[in-house]
């Protein structure tokens, strides 16, 4: 019971600060769930991010559901998902009610202008930490570079890119 409460509060916190899209949430989860609470291993988390990317729905919601299941089965997944969306829904609802007033608030613009580059920095930090845990040899470096080139220059769809990387994994790591 205590564990579920802690799970809920952790994801409530993550949701409240989830500015700047899915990967910002990945950065927050990696701090809260892996480093602070040790609920899942870094390796499992990266697998979860990959699955979250390949399945329908926002990455933030998908990875929360998954982590929640790992911590507390079905109840855990429901609690983590509810936690991560509750504050965003509440804030958006308040803004919707006062939409015409809020639309022209300069103050919000100012705050966002400061937050955006900060979010970039924290995603970069998460990217480096995740790279540290997931690229373990020269084969991993080659796969990462190939996929980066693929999505950047060849405009390959990220889901297709992940499927390709899976095939590369079988070729590189399966054949000895």
Partner 1 sequence: MLMDIFLTFFKIGSFTIGGGYAMLPIIQREVVDNKKWLGEEEFLDSIAVTNSLPGPLAINCATFVGYRKAGYAGVAAATLGAILPSFMIILVIAMFFTSIKENPIVDHVFAGVRPAVVALIAYALLKLVKSMGINSLNISISIAVLLLILLLNFHPIFAIVIFGALGFFLFRKEEEK
Q: Is 34 in the site for partner 1 (CB under 8 A)?
A: no
Structure tokens given for 86: 């509750």
Chain residues 113-152 in contact with partner 1, contact rule CB under 8 A: 113-131, 134-135, 140-141, 143-148, 151-152
Q: How far is the CB of 70 from partner 1 (least distance, A)?
A: 7
Distance separating alpha carbons of residues 122 and 63, to the nearest angstrom? 18
Size of the site for partner 1 (CB under 8 A): 106
Query: Nearer Cβ to partner 1, position 3 or 141?
Result: 141
Query: Which lies closer to partner 1 via its Cβ, residue 5 or residue 89?
Result: 89
Cα–chain-centroid distance for residue 28? 8
**Unique residue bearing structure tokens 């998460």:** 126
Decide if 158 contacts 53 (C-beta within 8 A). Answer: yes
Q: Does 98 bind partner 1 (CB under 8 A)?
A: no
For residues 4-33, which are near partner 1 according to CB under 8 A?
13, 15-23, 25-28, 31
In this structure, are residues 11 and 106 in contact, taking their beta carbons and an 8 Å threshold? Answer: no
């Amino acid at each position: 019971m205590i564990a579920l409460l802690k799970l809920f509060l952790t994801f409530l916190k993550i949701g409240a600060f989830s500015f700047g899209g899915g990967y910002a949430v990945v950065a927050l989860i990696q701090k809260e769930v892996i480093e602070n609470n040790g609920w899942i291993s870094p390796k499992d988390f990266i697998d979860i991010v990959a699955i979250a990317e390949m399945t329908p729905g926002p990455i933030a919601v998908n990875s929360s559901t998954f982590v929640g299941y790992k911590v507390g089965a079905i109840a855990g997944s429901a609690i983590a998902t509810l936690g991560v969306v509750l504050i965003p829904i509440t804030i958006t609802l308040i803004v919707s009610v006062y939409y015409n007033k809020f639309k022209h608030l300069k103050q919000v613009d100012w705050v966002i202008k400061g937050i955006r580059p900060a979010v970039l920095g924290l995603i970069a930090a998460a990217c480096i930490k995740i790279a540290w845990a997931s690229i373990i040899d020269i084969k991993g470096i080659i796969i990462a570079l190939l996929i980066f080139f693929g999505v950047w220059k060849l405009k390959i769809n990220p889901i297709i890119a992940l499927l390709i990387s899976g095939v590369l994994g079988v070729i590189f790591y399966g054949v000895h």
